[in-house]
Structure 1
Amino acid sequence: MTAGSPQHQRADGGAEIVFGLSGGRTALRHLYQSSPMRVLFPDAEPGTAIMGALVNTAGGLAGGDVVRVQARVEEGATATLCTPAAEKLYRSLGPETRVGTALHVGPGAVLEWLPQETILFDRARLRRRLEVDLAPGARLLATEMLVFGRAARGERFREGFLHDSWRLRMDGRLRWADALRIEAPEEALEDRFGFAGAGGFATLLYAGADAASHLPVMRDLAGPLGAATIPREGVVLMRWLGPAMPVRAALASAIPALRAALFGLPPVLPRLWTT
C-alpha cells in the first residue's frame, strides 16, 4: 500500500463590515469575521475617520486559501480600511490563492481603501478581484501595491501566476475595469516593454464627481516613477513602477497629500503604515 498525497489544511474565511452615522458621527454598525481574518479598530489620528484594520492572523496566504472581504459605508459616513503590515503570498504547491473584496459606498459617503503592499513570493499563485459600487455623491480613494519577490533576500517572482482585477461601478453602471494577468513572471517582469525589471507596482485611484479637478495635483505627486491620467469621467488613476522601496515611498508620500486635498483630512498616513 502506498500513502496518498497529504491534504494540507487551507484557510477559508473573511470579514463583513458596515459603517454608518450615529449621532452625527461614523460608527460601526455590523461586523462578522471568520478565520483567518480579524478586524481591529485602533484609534485613528485626531481629525481623521474611523479606521478598521484588516488582520490576517495566519501571517500570510498560501495556495488554496480563500479570503473574502465585504465593506459597506452607509449614506453620509466616512471610514478608512487598511492593513497593519504587508500581505505575504507564499509559494504554492499548485492551487491558487483567491482574494475577493467588495466595497459599497452609499450616497454622499467616503471610503478610503488603503491596504499596505502585497508581496508575491516566488511560485506564488494569486487570483484577486476588487469590486466597488459607488452611489450618487459617493467618493473613494483606493490603493493597491504589488511587490515581485522578497527583495531583502534577493528573491524574484520568477515562477507563478497572478490575475489581479478591478471593477468600479458608479450609479450602478460600470465606469472602469482593469486586469493584470501574468502567467510567465520571469519573462513578463524582465521584458523592457513590460515591467522592465521593476520590483514594485502600485495603483492609486480616486473616484468622485470632482475627480477631474484633482488631476494637476495628482500629476505633481506622481514623481519620476509614476504618472496620472483620467481613464473615464469621474475617475483619476495614478500608477508607479520601479524598485519596490522607492515605489512604496512614492505611494506613501501621495496618500497624505491626497487625503487632505480630497477630503479635508489631516495630511498624514494611517498610523498602521508607520508603526
Structure 2
Amino acid sequence: MTNSGLAMNAAIVKSGSSATPVPAEPELVERSWLAELHMRYRPDRSGRKTVADLLSVCGPLKVQRGFYPEMPAKADRLPPAVCHSYILHPPGGIVSGDRLAINITVAHDARALITTTSATRIYRVDERQVPQRQKLKLEVASGATLEWLPLENIFFAGSRADFDTEIILHEGSALFYREISCLGRPASGIPFDESAHSFLRQRLRLMTAEGSPIHEERIAIHSDNMRNRAQMGEFSVTGSLLVHGFQSAQLDSFTGAVHASLLDELRGTIDAAFPDSTACLALTSKPGLLICRYLGHESGEATALFDLMWHQLRPRLLGCVAVPPRIWAT
C-alpha cells in the first residue's frame, strides 16, 4: 500500500478555506426544488425479513420496493433478512438551488442495504450562483445494521455543493458507509477548477446515541486549491469507506482500534489486488472504527477498492457473505 495515502488522510480532514457558498435570496429559495425522504426499516411481524416504511416523501426522491436476494429458504431465519433498497432521483441530477433532505432510521434488529440506481450528478450553478445542498441523517439502533453504499457523486465544474451527513450509532449497531466524489469530468477535458465558481464542502459526523463524537471530518475544495498537494494534489476522485461495529475480540483491548493483524491482512489484500495503482490507498483505524481511503483518478478503481473491503469485512461484522445489489450488474 502506497505511503502517499498518509497525505490523502490529511487532505480529507483539511477544512481551512475562505470561500463560502453564496446564500440564496428569498425569491430564489421559493423557486428551488425541495426533495425530502424519511424512511424507517424494521423487522416484519414474522421476524423473517426487514421491511421499509416510507414515512414521508416530498419532491423528486423515490424509493423502489425492497429486494431480498439474501432471503433463505428456512423459516427460522434469525436475524431478519437484509432489505436491499434503491433510491432514485428522477431528474438525474441536482441543479442550482436544489435542497435534498434524506432521513433514514434502522430500528432494533433490522438490517438494511441502501444504494442508488445511478451516479448522482451535481450540475453547474445558475447565474446567481445559488448552491446545491444535501442533508443526510442516518440512525442505526442497537442490534441493527446499515450498509449505505450509493454510487458516486459527480460534481461538475461550476457546481457549488454543500453536503452534510450525520450518523447516529447506538451501542451494538453496525455500519458500512461509502462515499465517492468525482470532481469535474477529466475524461471529457473539463476539470473541476475550470470554473472559478466551483466549490464543494462536505461534513461528516459519527456520534453515539448519547451525542458523544465517534468521528468527524470536513473537506472544502474550490478552484484555487484543487492542485494544492495538501488538498487534492491534482487528483480528481476521493472516497471513503467507514466500517463500525466490530466485535470486542476484533479490537485492541487497550486502544479500542482494530487489531493490527487484521489491518495487515487487509493491506496485503489491497496490495495484491491493486499492484500497479497510481492512486493513494490508505487504511487506518481509530477506536471501534476502520477507515479506508481513496485518492486518485478513477471512480471505478475507488468502487473496486471499497467493494473488496466490503466483501472481506461483511462476514466478520454481519456474519454473512457480501451479496451485491442487482442494480450494480446493470
TM-score by shorter chain over 0.5: yes
Change (3 A) 1:217 1:128: farther
Alignment of 1:80-95 (within 5 A): 80-93=113-126, 94-95=129-130
2:303 aligned with 1:253: no
Number of aligned residue pairs = 267
- Who is 1:3 aligned against? none
- Who is 1:219 aligned against? 267
Once the two structures are TM-superposed, the CA of residue 222 in structure 1 deviates from its matched residue by 4.4
SS of residue in 2 equivalent to 1:248: helix
- Pairwise CA RMSD: 2.1
- Who is 1:53 aligned against? 86
Change (3 A) 1:167 1:221: farther
Identity fraction in percent: 25
Once the two structures are TM-superposed, the CA of residue 205 in structure 1 deviates from its matched residue by 0.1
The CA distance in 1 between the partners of 2:66 and 2:110, in whole Å, is 18
2:116 aligned with 1:79: no
The CA distance in 1 between the partners of 2:65 and 2:310, in whole Å, is 20
Within the candidate set 235, 241, 252, 1:204 is matched to 241
SS of residue in 2 equivalent to 1:181: strand
Q: Which structure has the bigger radius of gyration?
A: 2
TM-score using structure 2 length: 0.75
- Runs of 5+ consecutive residues of structure 2 not aligned to the other structure: 1-26, 72-80, 252-257, 272-276
Q: Is the CA contact 1:49–1:80 (under 8 Å) kept in the aligned structure 2?
A: yes
Cα displacement string for residues 103-132 of structure 1 (whole angstroms, at most 9, x for unaligned residues): 010111100011110001001111001101
Once the two structures are TM-superposed, the CA of residue 168 in structure 1 deviates from its matched residue by 0.4
Q: Is the CA contact 2:174–2:317 (under 8 Å) kept in the aligned structure 1?
A: no
Within the candidate set 252, 258, 262, 2:317 is matched to 262
Alignment of 1:36-47 (within 5 A): 36-47=60-71
The CA distance in 1 between the partners of 2:160 and 2:115, in whole Å, is 23
The CA distance in 1 between the partners of 2:231 and 2:178, in whole Å, is 21
The CA distance in 1 between the partners of 2:86 and 2:143, in whole Å, is 23
Change (3 A) 1:227 1:11: same
2:159 aligned with 1:137: no
Q: Is the CA contact 1:17–1:71 (under 8 Å) kept in the aligned structure 2?
A: yes
- Runs of 5+ consecutive residues of structure 1 not aligned to the other structure: 1-5
Q: Is the CA contact 1:131–1:166 (under 8 Å) kept in the aligned structure 2?
A: yes
SS of residue in 1 equivalent to 2:231: coil
Q: Indicate the structure with greater strand content.
A: 1
Q: Is the CA contact 2:122–2:159 (under 8 Å) kept in the aligned structure 1?
A: yes
TM-score using structure 1 length: 0.89
- Who is 1:168 aligned against? 206
Within the candidate set 41, 53, 60, 1:19 is matched to 41
The CA distance in 1 between the partners of 2:63 and 2:233, in whole Å, is 37
- Who is 1:189 aligned against? 226
